[in-house]
Amino acid sequence: MDWENIAADLTYSSPSKIVLLVLDGLGGLPHEGKTELEAAHTPHLDDLAAKSACGLSDPVFMGITPGSGPAHLALFGYDPLKYILGRGILEALGIGVTVEKNDLVARGNFATIKDSLIVDRRAGRIPTSENEKLCQKINAFLEKRKNPQIVLYPGKEHRFVVKFSDAGLSDSLSDADPQKDNKPPMPTLPLSPEAEKTAQIVNSFLDDVTAFLNNNPQANTILLRGFSKFPTLPSLEKLYKLRAGAIAHYPMYKGLARLVGMELLEVGSAVEDLFASLEQHYQDFDFFYVHFKKTDSAGEDGDFTSKKAAIEEIDDYIPRVLALEPEVFVVTSDHSTPWLLKSHSWHPNPFLLFSKTALPDRASRFSEKECSQGYLGRFQAIYAMPLMLAHAQKLKKFGA
């Protein structure tokens, strides 16, 4: 069944509220017999799981390691195989970059190169202030270029967005990123004949910037991935009649939210601010997407202890969400980022759905193993949205 084709007919607007809390990269692998989530002390999440319908979700399908874009789209009810998004457009929209039809954008990392190897893809996670200064210097260096015009926009820590502006640019390019440390830098490759000229432009830019940064001790090269032009998706309002608000710290997740028509809500930099923003705007929307990044960052760093601590930190805020009495409260992840792999993985995501109409099951706490025994079983993440809508009583009966 094509969910998107029937969603617009089945959904209707109602005052009931849905809160979707995404703990990025939550799923893990054991260390001394326990995953990061199993090792964490999470009394509030455990109590909630015991009162919820639980399961495990696959962002795409079994065995496929997803990027953050397709993983989130699936949670929002969009077929990730139909809407292929470059990471660049998500990052660009998330930091407020205007993207026009002749623009090509990519997500960038400042990185460290030594002896012809990328020894640190994140340049030691340089401070955002240093990132801003570097982008300013590179933009001044690039000012004389006209065809194409190239501008860097700083993000958080080591991340930035680069925008190429010219007619005829193609996003049919491979990533200029080895994806792992201690590997040589990779040029972008054209994935279609019409992208050959664009690949030459990008590779020339990479060479020039690396030469310009040569004297920097840490941020002395750049990596690019997720080349993309502006896509078109139906909005959450059009598909599901939802007034949706997004609460996130990082640009890419803000970009995802904007792409599907969510309103970005103001939020401070602390974890507490995520929930303060939810409380402040609770009467203004009927769907809230709340994104927590620390679990993913710790997983990518291979830091079991920090990921465990991040899970415990978020547990303290669960009562504040429950105090708002949403009709539906879902806690899950977009993808797994096990500390052991230091990267996204294909492992399914723990999923709990709390609602008065949800049937509690055998899960006694919130963990991978306990959720595997849950009423919802193992399912594709695209079913999360119809489940949330159904329990919020925002779906009509299908057929006579």
The per-residue pLDDT for range 53-62, each reduced to its tens digit, is 999 999 999 9
pTM: 0.78
pLDDT tier, 183 (very low <50, low <70, confident <90, very high otherwise): very high
What whole-number percentage of the chain has pLDDT above 70? Answer: 100
Q: What is the pLDDT of residue 256?
A: 87
| Mean pLDDT score of the chain | 94
Cβ atoms of 336 and 20 closer than 8 Å: no
The per-residue pLDDT for range 7-51, each reduced to its tens digit, is 989 999 999 999 999 999 999 999 999 999 999 999 999 999 999
Structure tokens, 351: 């999923």
- CA separation (Å) from 353 to 18, 111, 161, 232, 346? 10, 40, 35, 30, 22
Q: Give the 3-state secondary structure of residue 251.
A: helix
Q: Closest by alpha carbon to 321, among 1, 6, 47, 9?
A: 47
Rounded Cα distance between 74 and 58, Å, is 9
Structure tokens, 373: 């025994």
pLDDT tier, 282 (very low <50, low <70, confident <90, very high otherwise): very high
Q: What is the pLDDT of residue 252?
A: 81
Rounded Cα distance between 60 and 97, Å, is 29
**348-363: string of b/e by CB count within 10 Å (b at 16+)?**
bbbbbbbbeebeebeb
Cβ atoms of 295 and 249 closer than 8 Å: no
The per-residue pLDDT for range 147-158, each reduced to its tens digit, is 799 999 998 889
∠ Cα 296 302 303 (to 5°): 85
CATH number listed for the domain at residues 3-85+233-391: 3.40.720.10
Structure tokens, 204: 């020339």
80 burial via Cβ count (<10 Å: 0-12, 13-18, 19+): buried
Q: What is the pLDDT of residue 1?
A: 59
The per-residue pLDDT for range 87-114, each reduced to its tens digit, is 788 888 878 888 888 999 999 999 999 9
Cβ atoms of 388 and 18 closer than 8 Å: yes
The per-residue pLDDT for range 63-95, each reduced to its tens digit, is 999 988 899 999 999 999 988 877 788 888 878
pLDDT tier, 374 (very low <50, low <70, confident <90, very high otherwise): very high
Does the bond joining 190 to the residue before it have cis omega, within 30 degrees of 0? no
The single-letter code of the amino acid at 48 is L
Map out the domains of the chain as residue ranges: 3-85+233-391, 90-228
Q: What is the pLDDT of residue 232?
A: 78
